């Protein structure tokens, strides 16, 4: 009696070549950027995220050119697997920023509604490959198989056994040198870092538009490339 899994969420991961050789220089650049960023704007239980502190454009910083190239290559591989015709689109790194998570710090659940595809790269992980270092968590908001709303919550607790049809969360233990890529609209978060040492990662938001020289019909659902946009003038007075 087969039961078939339909409509799976596609999360890509890969271990990036040369990661170990690049680690030291990335860590050093990130910690310098953290020092130069704005005064801390998040509470002490939340990881330092560059996008909140004026450090959101590492895509333009030559110290990050190696990882930017890797993210581009892996994102294209991901989109090919999703069946997208790469000749019809252009891709842009819209923003990219470091995340530094110290003892007991987490990243609360959120989604990146400003982008289409998001990526995270793990530069430095204290207890590599373990949940203690703060697992990346994806939330099953679609809940296709939750036939009774709330059946699995902590009070009702009427799910006997978790399986691929009823998981509410998925986890990736952070692993040095690994990239994760996922749809930006997918809600996710990062568990607390319980190691007592820093976990350092980089986040990327990627936007997809129609190709610069694309068929005009592509613009119906794809945004035209930003080179074709007209910015409003400022109102006088
Ligand atoms: Fe995020």
pLDDT of the chain, 237 residues: tens digit per residue: 899 999 999 999 999 999 999 999 999 999 999 998 888 878 888 888 888 888 889 999 999 999 999 999 999 999 999 999 999 999 999 999 999 999 999 999 999 999 999 999 999 999 999 999 999 999 999 999 999 999 988 899 999 999 999 999 999 999 999 999 999 999 999 999 999 999 999 999 999 999 988 777 777 889 999 999 999 999 886
- CA 236 / ligand 1 centre spacing (Å): 38
Say how many CA atoms lie within 13 Å of 56 toward its Cβ. Answer: 10
How many residues are there in the chain?
237
Q: At which residue do the structure tokens 């409003």 appear?
A: 232
Q: How far apart are CA 162 and CA 167, in angstroms?
A: 6
Whole-number Å distance between alpha carbons of 58 and 49: 12
For residue 70, give the nearest of 183, 178, 152, 156 by alpha carbon. 178
Phi, psi of 55 (to 5 degrees): -125, 70
Beta strand segments in the chain, E: 12-15, 48-49, 89-101, 107-110, 117-124, 136-139, 169-172, 178-183, 188-190, 199-210
**Residue showing tokens 């910083």:** 61
27, 123 Cβ separation under 8 angstroms:
yes
CA of 237 to the centre of ligand 1 (A): 38
Q: Classify 227 as helix, strand or coil.
A: helix
**Distance linking the first and last C-alpha atoms of the chain:** 71
What pTM does this model have?
Answer: 0.94
Residues 6+ apart with CB under 8 A from 49: 42, 97, 98, 99, 107, 203
* Span from the CA of 184 to the centroid of ligand 1 (angstroms): 8
Residues 6+ apart with CB under 8 A from 93: 59, 68, 71, 72, 204, 205, 206
How high is the pLDDT of residue 216? 74
How many angstroms does the Cα of residue 110 sit away from the middle of ligand 1? 6
For residue 224, the tally of other CB atoms under 10 A from its CB is 16
CA of 217 to the centre of ligand 1 (A): 32
What are 170's two structure tokens?
């998925």
CA of 203 to the centre of ligand 1 (A): 7
Which domains are delineated in the chain?
12-146+164-214 (2.60.120.620)
The reported pLDDT for the residue numbered 237 is: 64
Rounded to the nearest whole angstrom, what is the distance from the C-alpha of residue 62 to the centroid of ligand 1? 23
Report which of 231, 190, 206, 213 is spatially closest to residue 71, judged by C-alpha positions: 206
Are 89 and 221 in contact by the 8 Å Cβ rule? The answer is no
pLDDT for res 43:
83
């Amino acid at each position: 009696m087969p039961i078939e899994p339909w409509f799976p969420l596609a999360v890509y991961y890969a271990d990036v070549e040369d990661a170990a050789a690049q680690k030291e220089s990335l860590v050093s650049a990130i910690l310098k950027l953290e020092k130069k960023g704005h005064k801390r704007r998040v509470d002490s239980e939340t990881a330092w995220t560059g996008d909140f502190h004026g450090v959101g454009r590492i895509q333009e910083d030559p110290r990050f050119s190696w990882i930017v190239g890797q993210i581009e290559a892996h994102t294209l591989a991901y989109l090919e697997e999703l069946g997208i015709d790469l000749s019809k689109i252009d891709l842009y790194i819209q923003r990219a920023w470091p995340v530094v998570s110290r003892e007991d710090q987490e990243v609360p659940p959120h989604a990146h509604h400003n982008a289409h595809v998001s990526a995270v790269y793990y530069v430095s992980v204290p207890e590599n490959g373990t949940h203690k270092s703060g697992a990346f968590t994806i939330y099953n908001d679609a809940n296709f198989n939750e036939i009774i709303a709330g059946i699995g919550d902590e009070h009702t607790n009427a799910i006997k056994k978790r399986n691929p049809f009823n998981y509410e969360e998925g986890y990736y233990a952070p692993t040095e040198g690994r990239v994760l890529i996922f749809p930006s609209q997918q809600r996710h978060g990062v568990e607390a870092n319980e190691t007592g040492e820093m976990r350092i990662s980089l986040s990327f938001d990627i936007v997809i538009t129609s190709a610069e020289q694309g068929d005009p019909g592509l613009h119906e659902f794809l945004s035209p490339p930003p080179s074709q946009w007209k910015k409003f003038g400022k109102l006088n007075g």
